[in-house]
Amino acid sequence: MTQDGPAEVVLTPERHTIDVIPDSARHGSPRSQFTLWFGANMQITAIVDGALAVIFGADALWAIIGLLIGNVAGGAVMSLHSAQGPKLGLPQMISSRAQFGVRGAVLPLLLAILMYLGFAATGTVLAGQAVAKVLHIDSPELGMAIFGVLTAFIAVTGYKLIHVVGRISTVVGIIGFTYLGIRLVSEYDIAAQLGAKGFDLPTFLLAVSLGASWQLTFGPYVADYSRYLPRSTSDRTTFWSTFAGTVLGSQWSMTFGALIAAVAGKSFMRDQVGFIGDLAGPAAVAILIYLVIVTGKLTVNVLNAYGGFMSILTTVTAFEGRSTISATARGLYIIGFTTTSTLIAIAASADFLGNFKNFVLALLMVFTPWSAINLIDYYLISRERFDIPALYDPRGRYGAWNVPALLCYGIGVAVQIPFLATKLYTGPLTDKLGGADISWIVGIMVTAALYYPVARRTANPPDRMIYPADFETSRA
């Protein structure tokens, strides 16, 4: 029995990485999934995501409805990934080795790493501005650097501290966003903006895509934060705790963003952080709101740094056959990732809104096929039965490369190209649909239709869950 106090336990660096979590280290309840994902979504980048739908042409009311549909649809997929955590005790992308092969999973992993870098960088831009305002410094770049140091510290400490930060962010976010909502309603005629433009299908589908992409891009790392829950935890309880947290938190933030964009227009585009600070009112209150922004962004940025580290380690160990690394190496991986994302943020802070829109929609294209394959295999093919030792052995049950699954994945990405509607490229079929982007729907449907019959013929799942030989006797 440890004699450490609660603070010491939380601040003790995490020992496990991509290895399976033994029963002796399992703890917590599904409620932690609600607070983590609610807190991670009550933040300024989600506000910007909601604002984009209106800024790019949607009516505020229809944008809110479209965002809700996207959040519900994407949140359901994301939560199905979360429910895998207690059963497997593994990071999300390790489990994808069962579908793509131990080394074949590297392809979606590399895309996941780029995703984490992109979200960490875009989040750091806004958080750095808020840090600079709190500290009364003229350099947003210095604010970004300070924010990067905080991110690295929490990510290095690991799982327990991350969940504590999620709980803090939930409480702070509810208080701060409630206050800002009251201010927005009192300062602007919100009702006049609802339904003013009418329904427009392309911009409505853009709003749906923005909501769905926001949720689906959590998929590659969501189980990282449920894998310590006891194995006896109900799949259904984990699903609904995650779903409620992520959908309520994101929809609240995005609705707020859509309303701000409707009443503020270009002034919000020019300075998102500054606009919210001005909305807060008196200087002292504005400082508190900037702290709300920093807290929310810190929560999700830590998830990006932690998930990025897990993905890098999963990639490297696919060719080395290891499942653990030293504490020093762990820290260096996370610090390196955070430093890189901060440098990207400093270099790419201009034209943030346009770049972010195209970034999230591009990510949607590459991760919808991955989600379809992962979920079909886990729930319909393997039926929650994995050979966990084989996930670390290229010569084992899952092999090094699963070519049929990789081909299905590649086709699932490619088939979306004619339906894309981005700043850099517009597919030939998009114009025929009035500019509506339905690429992610096409990607899911085609990938599922291809992969399921292929997996039925080629997969070789075990007849029961197989854990490492020393699983029950491992220590935390």
Structural domains of the chain in order of their starting residue, each with its CATH number? 6-352 (1.10.4160.10)
> Hey, which residues does 387 pair with through a beta bridge?
466
The CA–CA distances, whole Å, from 259 to 62, 68, 188, 262, 426 equal 11, 14, 10, 5, 28
pLDDT interval class at 16 (50, 70, 90): confident
Segment 247-267 shows an average pLDDT of 93
User: What is the reported pLDDT for 476?
Assistant: 38
pLDDT, residue 1, reads 39
Q: Is the pLDDT of residue 233 over 50?
A: yes
Q: Is the pLDDT of residue 17 over 90?
A: no
pLDDT digits (tens, 9 = 90+) for 137-148: 988 899 999 999
pLDDT band at 474 (very low <50, low <70, confident <90, very high): very low
- Average pLDDT score over the chain: 89
Determine the angle formed by the axes of helices 283-320 and 159-187, rounding to 10 degrees: 140
What value does the mean pLDDT take over residues 56-68? 94
Is the pLDDT confidence value at 125 over 60?
yes
Q: Indicate if the pLDDT at residue 472 is higher than 80.
A: no
pLDDT surpasses 60 at 8: no
Q: What is the pLDDT of residue 90?
A: 93
Q: What share of the chain has pLDDT > 70, as a percent?
A: 93
pLDDT, tens digit (0-9, with 9 covering 90-100), for 144-161: 999 999 999 999 998 999
Place of tokens 């049950």: 397
The predicted pLDDT at position 2 comes to 43
Whole-number Å distance between alpha carbons of 285 and 239: 37
Pick the more confident residue, 185 or 357.
Answer: 185
Q: How far apart are CA 412 and CA 393, in angstroms?
A: 27
Give CA–CA dist 205/225, Å, rounded: 31
Tell me which residue of 307, 276, 281, 221 sits closest to 43, measured CA to CA: 276
Q: What is the mean pLDDT of residues 344-370?
A: 73
* Confidence class for position 9, pLDDT limits 50, 70, 90: low
Q: Which of 112-121, 219-228, 262-271, 421-430 has the lowest mean pLDDT?
A: 421-430
What pLDDT does 428 receive?
83
Q: What are 64-75's pLDDT values in tens digits?
A: 999 999 999 999
pLDDT score for 404: 96
> What pLDDT is attached to residue 328?
87
Q: Give the model confidence (pLDDT) of 289-307 as tens digits.
A: 999 999 999 999 999 999 9
Does pLDDT of 164 surpass 80? yes
